[in-house]
Structure 1
Amino acid sequence: MDDTAVALPDAVLRRSAARRLDALALPARARLRWAAAATVVAGWLLVPQAAMIAWAVQQVFVENAAPAAVGVPLAWLLLIGLLRAGLGWCGRRCADDAVEIIRLRLRESIVRRLFAQGPLKLRQQRSGALTELMGTHVDALEGYFGGFVLARIEVVAVPLFLLVAVFFVDRIVGTVLLLTMPLIPLFMMLVGWGAEAASRRQLQALTRMSGHFADRLRGLGLIRLYGRAEAELAGIADAADNLRERSLKVLRIAFLSSAVMEFFASLSVAMVAMYLGLTYLGMLDFRGPPLTLGIGVFCLLLAPEFYAPLRRLAAHYHDRAGALAALGELESTLETTFDGEAKVAASVVISPAPPHVEDANSECGAPAISVRHLALRPLGAAHDVLDDLSFELSAGGRLAVVGPSGCGKSTLLEAFAGWLPASSGQVTVPAGIRIGYAPQRPFLFHGSIAANLRMARPGATDAQLHAAAEAAQVMAFAARLPQGLDTVIGERGFGLSGGEARRIALARVFLREPSLLLLDEPTAFLDPQTEAALLRAIAEFSQGRTLVMATHSAAALHIADQVLQLPEGLLSQQVAER
């Protein structure tokens, strides 16, 4: 009783996962239907093909007909062979197109879901593991949609048609085929449970190894500096060995499944052949009319083809197990389910938003900000860094947030940007405004400086690009680079100093032309002359805009209208230098 109660939810969950997996095929359903139709029709043509061969054999070896008499069946045989080859090509082409569409749509959906999770959530994920979602996990679905789905349809339509044709000419052979057919699906079901579990473990091991390897590549310089190269190589080797063992377990199950399928199919064909041979020798007499050579050839030709779709289904059954495992890993990492295109679209259009938003009449005017009894806790922290914070910032105001390191300055900016939900209280920011955020540790992509700037405004002209770079003091160091703004930098700003990376992030904000500026330590690590020039540019650019700036710099306070002291939460007024 208890075993049944435990097994029932597992079966229900497995069926639910299978339905969600099939729902991914919605964008390519038409192509899959054409592929399935071509596969089924090609299977049905096996009956006339076998009939033509049996007719020719009967004419030549039994009725001693002239060679010219077999011209008609041979011509039909050639025509049917060409037709089956064409159908096979069309079916494979449609299936490949469908798989490509499914993979593309799934990768787009994964990217949208990752964006919808927000930057703070993504910080908890290993980038190497996320890369595996887009690569190996999506590719694991290829065998399912390109192989198992077609084989599943073929195994329903083709063997039944062949069985009817065989029953029409010989009931004994038809009975043998009918009684031996259930053995293969039964064994497939038993093997499939173990194959799915093994595939899931193999994908988890691959994800862990990819994340481990990607992290070590990024920290290669630090690893060499501390002399940990040999130890890290040993760790990578252990991870690779673990992946190898789990991959071999999956292959072992697949080979075992295929071997048993071939055994049952060969045994069944041998039973048919033995019956026909004993009947021809006169040792068996289960039929009324005599068994002709043509009928025997016809049955022998269709017997292995009767089991061929079942063998193909068995060969692709581990693809189904791998696809279900991949889907489970995708849903576990993304913390969502794939219930079809309609729900996917509904779930990804919601972008991260501040805790509380009010409508504004103007979409581009400077917004006012209201903070009421706000408590904030960084992701993963044990306690709040800000508690019961309240203040008002008027439209077009300039607020400098100051305080010791770790007091919550960056956390407050992340809340304004909509990255971090409030533990309690609320932040009121007008809806429809454009926000520009330059964090303390900006992310720069591998590529040119100009390409990194155009992330904020892809259609910006060269003049606009240079104006933003000049205002943010990017040209002060870019002019000395070999190719200026076209100079290629490494991922995360490799090749630049921290101050230079911040200036590029600030130039991106300038190029975006936002209504609300959120700047986190924009002048850190700058010499006094560069800092003064940058602050003048910020003061000029923030005219008609609302500015919130976290800073340790005393010079930066001179351009602020208000200063918020954390953690005390004291708000003081001062006259900004215009």
Structure 2
Amino acid sequence: MAHRNDIKPVCYAFHQLNNRQKAVQLTETDNQAYFDKNKAREKICASWLKAQSKTIRKAVLSSAIAGIANGLGVIVQSAALAYILQAVIIDKLPWASLTAPFIVLAAVFILRSLCVYWQQTSGFEAGAEVRASVRQQLLDKFLALGPAAIKQRQSGELAAVILEQVDALENYFSRYLPQQIIVGVLPVVMIIAVMPVNWVVGLIFLITGPLVPVFMALIGIGAASANRSQFLAMARMSGYFLDRLQGLATLKLFGQAHRELTNINSMADGFREKTMAVLRIAFLSSAVLEFFSAVAVALVAVYVGLGLLGMIHFGPAEKISLSEALFVLLLAPEFFMPLRQLAINYHDRAAALGAADAILAILELDAEQGGASIANHGGFLIEFNNAGKYYGSRQVLKDINLQIAAGEKIALVGESGAGKTTLLNLLLGFEPASEGQVLLNGQAVNREQAAKAVAWVGQNAYIFHGSIKDNIALAEPDASEQRIFNAARAAGVTEFSEKLPEGLQTAVGERGYGLSGGQVQRIALARAFLKNAAIVLLDEPTANLDAANKTLLLDVIDKLFADKTLIIASHDPEVVQRMKRRIALRQGRLVL
């Protein structure tokens, strides 16, 4: 995607990373102005939407066919009603002779009901397939970018994209695309049906019909901009609210909770104003389009009405019958119905364009690739060859040359900010090296390879809402009950779980609510032990533990991973003392 950088705005305040350059985060006003002026971006979004529709052509076409069949039923229904009224009012035919027209009318009612059901279900199927497909694309991209890249973005914004923005695509595929096909067919068929009956009315349809899509497009230009601004405000509000919610305890401790509540109210008011702007455009467009269709229907009514009264002598008005007048008059509002429906659905297109811009902002992020494979690696399990890492223009690691043999016990030390966590992220495949190579078993490391060979326990191990057993089994869901119990016992989890009401089946809260820091770390170690990986990476495992619990935890680590390659990033002198080898980092470089 690097060749497109000249036409990519920074969408939804996401950071656009490309090679070593980090795009500038625009303000909401500048970002909106860029999108409005640079129509190339809108074309890219429209092309992407078109590409998504290729997978659901059958469902879209099915919905459109149902809509066209419903429209044909309207023509037959209007003709049947006109015939019946002519026969009853003018021709004075007995009711018995009208059995056939009434049967036709009833059949058309049933057929139209089935067509409406068919159209709705087919459209829903199209929308559901697209939502599932796009969400899968986003999840695949998140996996490709890795945890380290995802951490740089607000989780609230990402959640808004994968939920609200993806949902905003549904109506475009379920309603707008089928309606486009219907409008291309049904009005033409109606004009053809009306022309032999009354060419003047057909001419009125032919002239006034195109006015609806013309004004729809003009109003839709503002709608796309307003929708995109609304989505941007919603994403920012979601991210801000979730961040403050997660840090609520800190805000309360510093007495800032009420102030942040005021800020959230202010952001909510801004979102409300942008939502109302979208609704104003929607109501304005509906009023304008209703006006033109009402004028056209009024022209038809005046013409046929004056013709029936003998007060107009232009065209077929002089010889017009009641059935002909009723037929064209009943068909007039139905002629504009598909056009009006397309105008209503045009706002779905505007919303989809705004949502597509946010989605593409994520999908277009480049996941850098690791270096080439190397077969001969001199027997080392892990190698860093002139490896370096940049974040934008800031270099975090430089010229890292390091070899680690199988079974080594290593302490990775250095001041905060020295690059320890970044080095571990490179080894885990969470991030690619900006320069040089990182090799695992002689091959350029990638996430799939690292996921099999490496077990990782972070400084703040995440415990999910569920049982202790489920959290341990996360490393290997298919593990037997005995293996899970053995891992729990080896890591010392059973020492405290046996005192709980349901043992390992005891439910714990999200982020380990109800457990101490040492207990959380033991569960995380049991999870890593169950994985039985050749390499174990621990990031500050003793942080926030008292001396007694720290010693117990280090004893567990020594026992669990005695036969593994163990790398521990830590500031703790006791941890460093227990390891056989010390690797020090200072300002992103290795030091002896």
TM-score exceeds 0.5: yes
Residues 15-68 of structure 1, C-alpha deviation per residue, up to 9 Å, x if partnerless?
442231132234433222222111111111222111111111111111111111
1:464-498 per-position Cα deviation (integer Å, ceiling 9, x unaligned):
22222222233333334443333333333333343
2:416 corresponds in structure 1 to 405
**Aligned residue in 2 for 1:266:** 294
Looking at structure 2, the residues matched to 77 and 462 of structure 1 have their Cα atoms a distance apart, in angstroms, of 68
Q: Which moved more, 1:250-259 or 1:203-212?
A: 203-212
In the other structure, the counterpart of 1:519 is 538
Gaps of at least 5 residues in structure 1 are 1-5, 337-346, 572-578
* Alpha-carbon distance in structure 2 between the residues aligned to 1:7 and 1:445: 40
Counterpart for residue 340 of structure 1 = none
User: How many Å separate the matches in 2 of 1:496 and 1:367?
Assistant: 39
Match of 2:383 among 354, 366, 370: 370
Q: Matched residue of 1:130: which SS?
A: helix
Q: Whole-Å Cα distance in 1 between the matches of residues 325 and 428 of structure 2?
A: 78
Letter in 2 for 1:538: I
- How is 1:270-285 mapped onto 2 (pairs within 5 angstroms)? 270-285=298-313
Aligned to 2:328: 299
Tell me the distance in 2 between the aligned counterparts of 1:563 and 1:295. 96
Aligned amino acid, residue 293 of structure 1: L
Mapped to 1, the partners of 2:202 and 2:309 lie a distance apart of: 20
Aligned to 1:388: 399
Aligned residue identity for 1:165: A
Q: Which residue of 2 aligns with 1:575?
A: none
SS at match of 1:75: helix
Q: What RMSD over aligned residues (CA atoms) do the two structures have, in Å?
A: 2.7
| SS in structure 1 of the partner of residue 196 of structure 2 | helix
1:79: Cα distance to partner? 0.7
Q: CA deviation at 1:175?
A: 0.4
Select 1:489's aligned residue among 501, 508, 513.
508
Q: CA deviation at 1:532?
A: 4.8
Q: Is the 8 A contact 1:354 1:416 kept in 2?
A: no
Tell me, yes or no, if structure 1 residue 435 matches structure 2 residue 454.
yes
Q: Distance in 1 between matches of 2:310 and 2:95?
A: 30
Query: 8 Å contact 2:518–2:549 — kept in the other structure?
Result: no
Is the CA contact (8 Å cut-off) linking 1:183 and 1:264 kept in structure 2? yes
Distance 1:154 1:40 in 2: 6
Whether the 8 Å contact between 2:145 and 2:430 is mirrored in structure 1 is no
Q: Give 1:95 shift.
A: 1.4
- Name the structure 1 match of 2:346: 317
- Report what 1:505 is aligned to: 524
Corresponding residue for residue 165 of structure 1: 193
- Conserved 8 A contact 1:473-1:530: no
**In the alignment, is the contact (CA less than 8 A) between 1:471 and 1:534 conserved in 2?**
no
Q: Percent identity, aligned pairs only?
A: 37
Q: 1:497 to 1:381 in 2, by over 3 A?
A: farther
8 A contact 2:141–2:362 mirrored in 1: no
Aligned to 1:231: 259
Distance 2:91 2:434 in 1: 92
Q: Secondary structure at the match of 1:262?
A: helix
Amino acid at match of 1:569: L
* Structure 2 CA distance for partners of 1:391 and 1:216, relative to 1, 3 Å: closer
Could you list the runs of 4 or more consecutive aligned residues of structure 1 that deviate by over 6 angstroms after TM superposition? 6-9
**Structure 2 length-normalised TM:** 0.86
In structure 2, what is the Cα distance between the partners aligned to 1:449 and 1:526?
Answer: 20
Q: How far off is 1:104 after superposition?
A: 2.0
Q: So what's the TM-score if we normalise by structure 1?
A: 0.88
CA contact (8 A) 1:358 1:429 kept: no
Compute the displacement of 1:254 (Å): 0.4
CA 1:357–1:550 in 2, change beyond 3 Å: closer, same or farther? farther
Q: Which amino acid aligns with 1:307?
A: F
Checking the alignment, whether the CA contact within 8 Å between 2:517 and 2:545 is kept in structure 1 is no
Distance in 2, Cα, partners of 1:65 & 1:451: 79
Residue equivalent to 1:113: 141
Tell me which residue corresponds to 1:565.
584
Count of residue correspondences: 547
Q: Distance in 2 between matches of 1:9 and 1:242?
A: 23
How far does the alpha carbon of each residue in 1:415-465 deviate from its partner, in whole angstroms, 9 at most, with x for none? 211223334333222244521111222233333332222221111222222
Contact kept, 8 Å, 1:473 with 1:533, in 2: the verdict is: no
Equivalent pair of 1:368/1:396 in contact (CA under 8 Å): no
- Cα distance in 2 between the residues matched to 1:450 and 1:462: 9
- Does the alignment pair 1:463 with 2:492? no
Letter in 2 for 1:230: H
Note the C-alpha offset of 1:194. 0.2
CA distance in 1, matches of 2:88, 2:355: 55
| Corresponding letter in the other structure for 1:311 | R
How has the CA–CA distance of structure 1 residues 65 and 269 changed in structure 2, closer, same or farther, with 3 Å as cutoff? Answer: same
Q: Which amino acid is 1:115 matched to?
A: L
Query: 2: distance between equivalents of 1:129 and 1:156?
Result: 38
1:181 and 1:12 map into 2 onto residues whose CA distance is 30
Greater mean deviation of Cα atoms: 556-565 or 91-100: 556-565
In the alignment, structure 1 residue 290 sits paired with structure 2 residue 324: no
Of stretches 14-23 and 519-528 in structure 1, the one that deviates more from structure 2 is 519-528
Secondary structure of the 1:49 match is helix
Instruction: Give the superposition deviation at 1:357.
Output: 4.7
Q: 1:418 to 1:7 in 2, by over 3 A?
A: closer
Report the Cα distance in structure 2 between the residues aligned to 1:536 and 1:297, rounded to whole angstroms.
93
Please give the residue correspondences for 1:146-157 in structure 2 after superposition, counting only pairs within 5 Å: 146-157=174-185
Query: Which range is displaced more, 17-26 or 218-227?
Result: 17-26
Separation in structure 1 between the aligned mates of residue 185 and residue 43 of structure 2, nearest angstrom: 22
Paired position in structure 2 for 1:244: 272
Residues 131-166 of structure 1 show CA distances to partners (whole Å, capped at 9, x for unaligned) of 111221111112212221222111111111011000
Q: Quickly say closer, same or farther: Cα 1:539–1:435, change in 2 above 3 A.
A: same
Tell me: CA distance 1:10–1:154, structure 2 relative to 1, closer, same or farther (3 Å).
Answer: farther
Residue 440 of structure 1: SS of its match in structure 2? coil
Provide the rounded CA distance (Å) in 2 between the counterparts of 1:246 and 1:546. 56
The one-letter amino acid paired with 1:297 is L
Aligned to 1:576: none
Query: What is the CA-CA distance between 1:534 and the residue it aligns to?
Result: 4.0
Moved more, 386-395 or 119-128: 386-395
Asked whether the 8 Å contact 1:357–1:427 carries over to 2, the reply is no
In structure 2, how many angstroms separate the alpha carbons of the residues matched to 1:306 and 1:523? 74
In structure 2, what is the equivalent of residue 344 of structure 1? Answer: none
Matching residue's letter, 1:215? D
Which letter does structure 1 place at the counterpart of 2:484? L
Q: Equivalents in 1 of 2:485, 2:551: separation in Å?
A: 20
